[in-house]
Structure 1
């Protein structure tokens, strides 16, 4: 929704950039994605509309901020996933929560599978892209926010230990930046999870990889010279680094889908889906019966 709070007179150049921002937002909104400010920035860099540097990023953020407040950019199409308010759930009437139960009800469709899969990402800002596809594939998703905490990995270790006791093979797929620390994080995850769980684990990095960077022509940034791993990094990759935010959201979604489907046995999966659908129908029957007995609740 576009909503004007203040009057701002924009130059033709700034108005042109706002139009380009809206083109990006409209495209991904149509595909079902809501972007972060940084993702919008990289989309404009990839289109050669703005240069890839700190000044351009700060300038774009300022223009987006003004454009939203002036009613030129839809507030709902850009999201800040690093901050948020957690509101307690409320319901106007019993029928509302009954109908919601039908929508959200799900069983563990991996219960009869031989593999256990979890998806991890370095950045919380990409949770809005990866979490929905993980929910669709019924696998755990974790945003580590850099090097993951011991508390989080300890809890993950306990969880995968139990899955291993059930006879499952453990797979962790990881998404991270291609920079000195980003390339080290999957190693760190593997070592600590093995320590906390005491079971065999495979950690596979799905992105970013150098062949993906070259194939997708991902915009580059200078690697941070202050990173303690900088010297070892530049020996292998040079002085450039690349951010996961610059990858097209559908590509990230595709990587998760193909990885999970490659480790999923379709027969027990389809059987679980059929069972789940039957149970959801049972819930829908309860809703329908409630509506007949309480017609006023539908108003």
Structure 2
């Protein structure tokens, strides 16, 4: 939705920038500003510099304020507002109840699915894929705390079915290392041990790995101790991967070095030895491609016949709820709440 709040007299260069940004956003929204920046770079609109990123930010502010670009096409997930829920009255609350009900289809599916994303800025762009299928999306924001990992793992120990984890993050020394840290903590706290000595507990699993016959061959762990025998834990990186550099013609970022020519990141030496010195941020991959990967991964675990049956059950339950709300005593509930105590 476009809402003009002020008028801007844009210079021709800024108008051209807004036009190019509109083309990208029209195809990929919602996007973070950084994601838009990388798409502009990949299309050759400008080079990847802090000055051009700042210029884009100013142009997007003016474009949205003047009504040229919808406000919700660019999202900012870094800043959040926390406020307890409240309602104007019981009628308002019942409207919320009516809209909030959703049946847990995954309770009847053969697997449990969770998605992890490294960057806060990408969460809003990926949420449509996970929200549509009622799948948890964990935002990591760097190295994850022990407490948070323990909370997730504790929930997994109660699940008597395979757990599939899909991860999306930057392709750079820190990005791969924090993924390793997260996976190893979840592995440890879930009390899992390696199934196959040929599996890859310390490596990263690319999509379409030609050396493996199936996803389950890539990485598998079994529950131990209190978990039911035979349940397994899988991990797969959906993006960013090595193949993405060629598939999307990504402009590689080089690993930073200090004045002496040494790597600034202590993890860089091992990364370069194994993967080369090309890096990229997850934002550089088109968000619709990432959403598609998530959706495809989730759909692999859906029993379609059962899913469609549950949709019919959910519809019937929603109608029952609607009928129940409609049969409540016809009193002015809001008026009662507002006048009580006067």
1:212 corresponds to: 244
* Alpha-carbon distance in structure 2 between the residues aligned to 1:296 and 1:264: 42
- Answer whether contact 1:95 1:287 (CA < 8 A) is retained: no
| 1:63 positional shift | 2.9
Matched pairs, number: 288
Question: Is 1:144 paired with 2:140?
Answer: yes
Secondary structure, counterpart of 2:95 in structure 1: helix
| 1:97 positional shift | 3.1
> What pairs up with 1:231-250 in 2 under 5 angstroms?
231-250=269-288
- Give me the CA root mean square deviation: 2.5
| 1:73 positional shift | 4.3
Question: Is 1:177 paired with 2:170?
Answer: yes
1:3 corresponds to: 4
Question: Is 1:202 paired with 2:195?
Answer: no
- Answer whether contact 2:250 2:280 (CA < 8 A) is retained: yes
- Normalised by the length of structure 2, the TM-score is 0.76
Which range moves more in the overlay, 17-26 or 168-177?
17-26
Could you tell me which of 278, 286, 291 is aligned with 1:253?
Answer: 291
| 1:46 positional shift | 2.2
Could you tell me which of 183, 193, 209 is aligned with 1:190?
Answer: 183
More helix by share: 1
1:118 corresponds to: 114
1:223 corresponds to: 255
- Normalised by the length of structure 1, the TM-score is 0.86
2:16 corresponds to: 16
* Alpha-carbon distance in structure 1 between the residues aligned to 2:86 and 2:25: 31
| 1:67 positional shift | 4.2
| 1:296 positional shift | 11
* Alpha-carbon distance in structure 1 between the residues aligned to 2:191 and 2:122: 30
| 1:113 positional shift | 2.4
* Cα displacement string for residues 168-224 of structure 1 (whole angstroms, at most 9, x for unaligned residues): 111111001111111223322221111111133221111111112211222322224
* Alpha-carbon distance in structure 2 between the residues aligned to 1:215 and 1:78: 25
- Answer whether contact 1:175 1:205 (CA < 8 A) is retained: yes
| 1:155 positional shift | 0.5
Secondary structure, counterpart of 2:173 in structure 1: coil
2:49 corresponds to: 53
| 1:91 positional shift | 3.2
- Answer whether contact 1:21 1:40 (CA < 8 A) is retained: yes
* Alpha-carbon distance in structure 2 between the residues aligned to 1:82 and 1:260: 26
Give unmatched runs, 5+ long, in structure 1: none
- Answer whether contact 1:53 1:221 (CA < 8 A) is retained: no
Secondary structure, counterpart of 1:119 in structure 2: strand
2:310 corresponds to: 272
